[in-house]
Chains A and B, each alone.
Chain A
Amino acid sequence: MSLILVVLMPFLGALLPPILVQAGRRTCALGTLSVTVLALVGLVSNFPALLSGETVTARIDWLPELGLNVTFFLDPLGAFFASLILGIGCLIIVYGRYYLSRNDDMGEFFTYLLLFQGAMVGIVLSDNILLLLIFWELTSLSSFLLIGYWKHLKEGRQGARMALTVTGMGGLALIGGMLILGNIAGSYDLTEILQNREAIQSSDLYLPALILILIGCFTKSAQFPFHFWLPHAMAAPTPVSAYLHSATMVKAGIFLMARLWPVLSGSEAWFWLVTGAGLITVVLGAVIAFFKHDLKALLAFSTVSHLGLITMLLGTGTAFGAMTAIFHILNHATFKAALFMSAGIVDHEAHTRDIRKLGGLRHLMPVTATIATVAALSMAGIPLFNGFVSKEMWLEEALHTELFGPHWLVPALATFGALFSAAYSFRFIFHTFFGKTRDDYPSHPHDPNFGMWLPPAFLATLVVIIGCAPFLAEPLVKFVTAAVLGTTAEVPSYHLAIWHGLKPPLYLSGVAVAGGILLLLLHRFLQKGWDVTPRPEAKTIFDGIVGGAVWVARRVTCGLHDGSFTRFAAILVVFVVAAGAYAFVTGEAGMGSRVVYPPTAVAVATWAMLVAATGFLVFKHRNRLAALILIAIVGLIVSVGFAYFSAPDLAMTQISVEVVTVVLMLLALNFLPQETPVESGAGRRLRDGLIAVAGGVGAGMLAFYMLVRDFVESPISEYHLANSYKGGGGTNVVNVILVDFRGFDTFGEIIVLGIAALVIFALTEALMGGPVRARLLNREPQTRLAGDRHPLMMVVLTRVIMPVLLLIGIYIFLRGHNLPGGGFIAGLVVAVAIVQQYMASGFAWASDRQRYPYHGIVGAGVLIAGLTGIGAWFTGHEFLTSSFTYIKLPLLEEFEVASAMGFDLGVFLAVLGAVLLSLESFSRMARRAHDTDNEHAMDIDPSRGTTNEGGA
Chain B
Amino acid sequence: MELLVASGIGVLTAAGIYLVLRLRTFPVIIGTAMLTYAVNVFLFASGRLTVSAPPILMDEATRYTDPLPQALVLTAIVISFGMTAVVVVIALGAYLGSDDDHVDEQGGALDAVRKLEKAE
Contact = CB atoms under 8 A, between A and B. Distances in A.
Contacts of B41: 638, 641
Given A704-B2, A760-B86, A672 B101 contact: yes
Contacts of B110: 555, 558-559, 562
A566 B21 contact: yes
Contact of B4 (A567, A607, A646): A607
A505 interface: no
A734 B67 contact: yes
Interface in A734-784: 734, 737-738, 742, 745-746, 749, 752-753, 756-757, 759-760, 763-764, 766-767, 770-772, 775-776
Contacts of A724: 57
Interface string B76-99: 011111111110111111011100
B81 A915 contact: yes
A568 B9 CA distance: 23
Interface stretch (A34-42, A148-156, A689-697): A689-697
Contact of A692 (B18, B78, B86): B18
A864 interface: no
Contact of B71 (A558, A562, A738): A738
Interface stretch (A113-121, A424-432, A613-621): A613-621
Interface string A574-606: 000000000000000000001011111001100
Interface string A705-732: 0111011000111001100110000011
A597 B2 contact: yes
Contacts of A698: 10, 13
B2 A733 contact: no
Contact of A569 (B20, B85, B88): B20
Interface string A542-580: 000000000000110111011111110110010000000
Interface in B34-76: 34, 37-38, 40-42, 44-58, 64-68, 70-71, 73-75
A623 B58 CA distance: 48
Contact of A918 (B45, B49, B85): B85
Interface stretch (A88-96, A176-184, A530-538, A673-681): A673-681
A664 B26 CA distance: 13
Nearest to A639: B77
A564 B108 contact: yes
A645 B30 contact: no
A864 B85 CA distance: 25
A731 B67 CA distance: 12
A704 B70 CA distance: 19
A721 B57 contact: yes
Contact of A749 (B25, B78, B95, B108): B78
A701 B49 contact: no
Contact of B54 (A641, A648, A680, A749): A648
Contacts of A1: none
Contacts of A695: 13-14, 17
Contacts of A664: 84-85, 88
Contacts of B113: 554, 558
Contact of B5 (A661, A697, A707): A707
A680 B89 contact: no
A619 to B, nearest CB: 10
Given A564-B104, A596-B1, A647-B65, A732 B45 contact: no
B50 A645 contact: yes
Nearest to B107: A563
Interface in A630-669: 631, 634-635, 638, 641-642, 644-650, 653-654, 657, 660-661, 664-665, 668-669
B83 A631 contact: no
A776 B96 contact: yes
Interface residues of B, number: 92
Contact of A645 (B51, B80, B90, B111): B51
B74 A649 contact: yes
B68 A720 contact: yes
A732 B38 CA distance: 25
A678 to B, nearest CB: 10
Contact of A820 (B11, B54, B91): B54
Contact of A634 (B1, B12, B42, B79): B12
B78 A703 contact: no
B13 A700 contact: yes
Contacts of B24: 676-677, 679
B82 to A, nearest CB: 4
A618 B31 CA distance: 9
A759 B84 CA distance: 12
B109 interface: yes
Contact of A703 (B42, B54, B79): B42
Most buried by A among B19, B54, B65, B89: B89
B97 A617 contact: no
B66 A676 contact: no
B19 A621 contact: yes
Given A563-B109, A596-B2, A772 B97 contact: yes
Given A650-B70, A688-B21, A720-B67, A597 B1 contact: yes
A733 B33 contact: no
A646 B20 CA distance: 31
B53 to A, nearest CB: 5
A145 interface: no
A213 B21 CA distance: 48
Given A621-B19, A646-B55, A692-B14, A760 B85 contact: yes
A819 B56 contact: yes
B86 A756 contact: yes
A770 B44 CA distance: 43
Contacts of A491: none
Contacts of A763: 86, 89-90, 93
A887 interface: no
A717 B10 contact: no
21 contacts: A563-B107, A565-B103, A566-B23, A569-B21, A615-B15, A617-B34, A618-B18, A627-B26, A638-B41, A647-B65, A650-B44, A688-B17, A695-B13, A707-B5, A710-B48, A733-B55, A734-B70, A757-B85, A763-B86, A767-B92, A922-B89
Interface of A: 554-555, 557-559, 561-567, 569-570, 573, 594, 596-600, 603-604, 607, 610-611, 614-615, 617-618, 621, 624, 627-628, 631, 634-635, 638, 641-642, 644-650, 653-654, 657, 660-661, 664-665, 668-669, 671-673, 676-677, 679-680, 688-689, 691-693, 695-704, 706-708, 710-711, 715-717, 720-721, 724-725, 731-734, 737-738, 742, 745-746, 749, 752-753, 756-757, 759-760, 763-764, 766-767, 770-772, 775-776, 818-820, 824, 828, 911, 914-915, 918, 921-922, 925
Given A614-B15, A672-B101, A734-B67, 14 more contacts: A554-B113, A565-B104, A597-B49, A611-B11, A638-B37, A641-B5, A645-B49, A649-B74, A689-B18, A720-B68, A725-B57, A734-B74, A766-B93, A824-B78
